[in-house]
Amino acid sequence: MTHMQHSRTKALAFVSAIGCVVMTVALSTAIYPAIKNPSIGGFSQITSWYKKRIDAVDPSGKDLSGAVIAIAKEGKLAYLQPIGFQDRAKTIPMTTDSIFWIASMTKPITSVAAMMLVDNGKLDLDAPVAKYLPELKTMQVATAKPNPASGKIDIALEPPKRPMTVRDLLRHTSGLVYPPQYLDEPINRLYARAAFEPDNSLGEFVTSLSSLPLAHQPGEVWEYSWGVDVLARVVEVASGQQFDQFLQSRIFKPLGMVDTGFYVPSENLDRVVEAPTTRPPQFDITKPRKLLSGGGGLASTALDYLRFCQMLLNGGELDGVRILAPETVKLMTANALPSDVRFVGRSVGPDDGTTFGLGFAIRTSGGSAGSFGWSGVWGTQFWVDPAQKMIAVQMIQVAPEKVSYYFTAMRNLTYGALNISQP
């Protein structure tokens, strides 16, 4: 990630009011001029809530030590605030350009990369994945059943009713799954055999999947999965570029996402927010890795991700640079799931008031119905609300078991600060 330079082009005009920072930020052009009359009272409530939380919890217990919160409204930066500290010992103040592992917030970026190739005619959304990755052509579908006689689990294999498609990878209906993380089922356990290691390429990882079965018939079940990592390899094959090079040349550089990439160069390591627990080697953003995980490998900042989201809210364009066709953004942010799909695992589905598009969860009920977004395992979170022309980004690093509390708080505080009805 050699493009991540601390000497970023930026013009900052700070106006402090009750702990709130309102600023004009120029990253190649003056995107996000400051709101003239922001709701300072509401914003101070956001700041004070996080400050109180940081004071109240013990960061050595894998809880919150600091945050960067960014909110944009109608194309203007309404709020950008570093709160607390980068380190667990609370000695290094958080800054607006502190760098976070964004984990699964990588997935929407990978999804955009794939849809750019669809727009360019280089990728067929409904083609079998095996068209691009023939090593996966012979994958079978597994069914696990208890064997009363042996007391063990028998795994039976059958052919897929139809091939998994590129569309399935984007919407988590491919039949691929994760190893035990969200679910600990017999088929998930088999996925621990895959070569998802820092020294393996995407191609080597995908090849290792070819000997494993699918957990579901393609198109029938939504289960959170390695599908987006497979999609990253599809991007490599369809584009002829290594995945990191594609992202840098086609997304990060055009959008001015100067601090986003798979690893942080040595000169910027002092800006990396300390991990709440041991960094998984596959996702260690402090060093280069051969594995370019499209499902969770990126590091970024609040402002970089805000620019990515603004491109989506603008219908695929930012600062005169078009990334996606407007119709493509609409397709990605609308329900993409069959009416009879079954939901397994992570909280997406009617019971949670959400569905899934091509790379994003979409809220289907409440005051923010139609908003779309996703989150990361250490608490990074974003959503885009087209009806309110609003974007919210939360950058934190807490242990996985603590994130849901902050996801809920961020939504409530954001809508409250902007005087919008609670979702």
**What does the alpha-carbon distance between residue 405 and residue 60 come to, in Å, rounded to a whole number?**
18
Is the separation of the CB atoms in 96 and 300 below 8 Å? no
| pLDDT band for position 39 (cuts 50, 70, 90) | very low
Say if residue 216's pLDDT is above 50. yes
Comparing 346 with 422, the larger pLDDT belongs to: 346
- Across 177-197, average pLDDT: 91
The end-to-end CA distance of the chain, in Å, is: 37
Say if residue 24's pLDDT is above 50. no
**What does the alpha-carbon distance between residue 372 and residue 361 come to, in Å, rounded to a whole number?**
6
- Across 305-329, average pLDDT: 98
Instruction: Flag the least confident range among 2-16, 65-79, 98-112, 201-215.
Output: 2-16
**What does the alpha-carbon distance between residue 352 and residue 359 come to, in Å, rounded to a whole number?**
17
Say if residue 27's pLDDT is above 90. no
382 HSE (CA, 13 A, CB side): 32
Say if residue 28's pLDDT is above 90. no
| pLDDT band for position 32 (cuts 50, 70, 90) | low
Percent with pLDDT over 90 in the chain: 79
Cβ contacts of 207 within 8 Å, gap of 6 or more: 135, 195
- Across 1-15, average pLDDT: 36
| pLDDT band for position 198 (cuts 50, 70, 90) | very high
| pLDDT band for position 9 (cuts 50, 70, 90) | very low
pTM of the model: 0.91
Instruction: Flag the least confident range among 58-72, 120-134, 211-225.
Output: 58-72
pLDDT digits (tens, 9 = 90+) for 384-420: 999 999 999 999 999 999 999 999 999 999 998 877 6
Which pLDDT value is given to residue 181?
A: 79
Pick from 221, 220, 229, 166: which is nearest to 194 by CA?
A: 229
Top mean-pLDDT range of 24-28, 345-349, 411-415, 419-423: 411-415
pLDDT digits (tens, 9 = 90+) for 240-283: 999 999 999 999 999 999 999 999 999 999 999 999 999 999 99
Give CA separation, 285 vs 7, 208, 275, in Å.
Answer: 20, 24, 10
Which pLDDT value is given to residue 367?
A: 78
Which pLDDT value is given to residue 69?
A: 97
Which pLDDT value is given to residue 31?
A: 64
Comparing 193 with 11, the larger pLDDT belongs to: 193
| pLDDT band for position 365 (cuts 50, 70, 90) | confident
Number of H helices, E strands in the chain: 11, 17
Extract the tokens encoding 154. 């028998």
Instruction: Flag the least confident range among 33-37, 252-256, 340-344, 412-416.
Output: 33-37
Which pLDDT value is given to residue 182?
A: 76
Instruction: Flag the least confident range among 28-32, 65-69, 246-250, 262-266.
Output: 28-32
- Across 310-335, average pLDDT: 98
Which pLDDT value is given to residue 90?
A: 94
Is the separation of the CB atoms in 384 and 357 below 8 Å? no
- Mean pLDDT of the chain, nearest integer: 89
